[in-house]
């Protein structure tokens, strides 16, 4: 990952300014839309949701920043209108986690929501970069890929599962051990998936290197893997990790836009379809799954290349990866199967 994250400025090297947030009125969607509205990288910001977008749009439109905000509801062909001309589509839509709810519990509701939104993307803006936040990401990204495949417009380089919150948590939680003033200065790749034990933080590859006492490593890994539960419990069941996820979603969106505009050296972990990305075939073969999160070099076409870090992991991390790969396969199969067998599949 690129050391240091410079202040963002608008670039004239390439145009990529029309962004859409699908699920803009929700707990993640509202703060995410705020962050995107404040970014000088975006000229037009379209907000879509089934409720609430007129109010969110009016509120954000009073902010003195570059982006022009428009809002759309499902009625009157709102999804198509929101997606028309989109360069980037960010999808935080769906129901949030509740106490005792796993990401798999979210599947039956969120799977259909993501399928329908991606169908709209396939029909209206098939060349847009698609950033999926909706959980369970381990399944919703395969759903998105299958929908795009069935429509004949799938480009693996343009589909991303946003796992940046796992990276943000790893950076933040390790700070309590290292004492680094700015957590984002410690770059830690997180690979695998985006749920519980499928999340594998590679503290052995931290840059700069971190010295984590043996008795603290296990609890640190678990905290990164199950950080979402910590927030759900702290909110007393009244919400999930919305603000931190909005920040993570914004950070990844910003990285994609900067890379497409021509900035070099931007590397961010993301959950992608490996066989369609340079370097991905070898990783997919080693991991035993086609969808997997690894450090991705971003560029004008999206995912320019996947970095194979599997051979460099520590012995402890190898054990974590075995559990990850076992659990991940079932989630991927579930997502693919949903599109091919569900009554709503097109």
Which residues are tagged catalytic? 194
191: which DSSP letter? Answer: E
> Where do the DSSP E strands lie in the chain?
18-22, 44-48, 68-72, 88-91, 129-132, 159-161, 190-192, 199-201, 267-273, 291-299, 302-306
d(CA 139, CA 103): 9
d(CA 300, CA 134): 25
Helices (H), 137-178: 137-150, 164-178
d(CA 326, CA 223): 20
Cα–Cα distances (Å) from 57 to 45, 68, 72, 116, in that order, read 10, 10, 9, 23
Beta carbons of 339 and 141 less than 8 angstroms apart: no
d(CA 208, CA 187): 7
Say which residues have a Cβ less than 8 Å from residue 51's Cβ, sequence separation at least 6.
25, 73
Q: Is the peptide bond before 125 cis (omega within 30 degrees of 0)?
A: no
- Output the DSSP codes for 14-79: S---EEEEETTTSTTHHHHHHHHHH-TT-SEEEEE-SSSHHHHHHHHTTS-SS-EEEEE-SGGGHH
Say which residues have a Cβ less than 8 Å from residue 139's Cβ, sequence separation at least 6.
104, 107, 111, 331, 332, 334, 335, 338
d(CA 145, CA 127): 13
């Amino acid at each position: 990952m690129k050391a240091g994250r410079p202040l963002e400025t608008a670039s004239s090297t390439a145009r990529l300014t029309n962004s859409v947030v699908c699920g803009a009125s929700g707990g993640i969607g509202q703060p995410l839309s705020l962050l995107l509205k404040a970014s000088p990288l975006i000229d037009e910001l379209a907000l879509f949701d089934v409720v609430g977008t007129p109010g969110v749009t009016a509120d954000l439109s009073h902010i003195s920043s570059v982006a022009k905000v428009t809002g759309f509801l499902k009625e009157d062909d709102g999804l198509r209108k929101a997606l028309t001309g989109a360069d980037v589509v960010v999808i935080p839509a769906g129901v949030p986690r509740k106490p005792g709810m796993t990401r798999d519990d979210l599947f039956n509701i969120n799977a259909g929501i993501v399928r329908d939104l991606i169908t709209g993307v396939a029909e209206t803006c098939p060349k847009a970069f698609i950033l999926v936040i909706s959980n369970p990401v381990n399944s919703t990204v395969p759903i998105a890929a299958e929908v795009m495949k069935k429509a004949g417009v799938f480009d693996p380089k343009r589909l991303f599962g946003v796992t940046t919150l796992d990276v943000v948590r790893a950076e933040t939680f390790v700070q309590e051990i290292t004492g680094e003033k700015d957590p984002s200065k410690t770059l830690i790749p997180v690979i695998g998936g985006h749920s519980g034990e499928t999340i594998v933080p590679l503290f052995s590859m931290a840059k700069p290197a971190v010295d984590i006492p043996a008795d603290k490593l296990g609890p640190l890994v678990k905290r990164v893997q199950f950080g979402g539960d910590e927030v759900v419990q702290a909110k007393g069941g009244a919400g999930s990790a919305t603000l931190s996820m909005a920040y993570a979603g914004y950070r990844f969106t910003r990285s994609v836009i900067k890379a497409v505009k021509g900035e070099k050296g931007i590397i961010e972990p993301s959950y992608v379809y490996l066989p369609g990305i340079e370097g991905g075939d070898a990783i997919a073969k080693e991991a035993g799954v086609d969808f997997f999160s690894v450090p991705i070099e971003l560029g004008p076409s999206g995912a320019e290349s996947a970095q194979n870090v599997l051979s460099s992991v520590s012995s402890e991390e190898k054990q974590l990866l075995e559990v990850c790969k076992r659990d991940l396969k079932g989630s991927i199969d579930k997502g693919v199967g949903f599109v091919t067998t569900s009554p709503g599949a097109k």
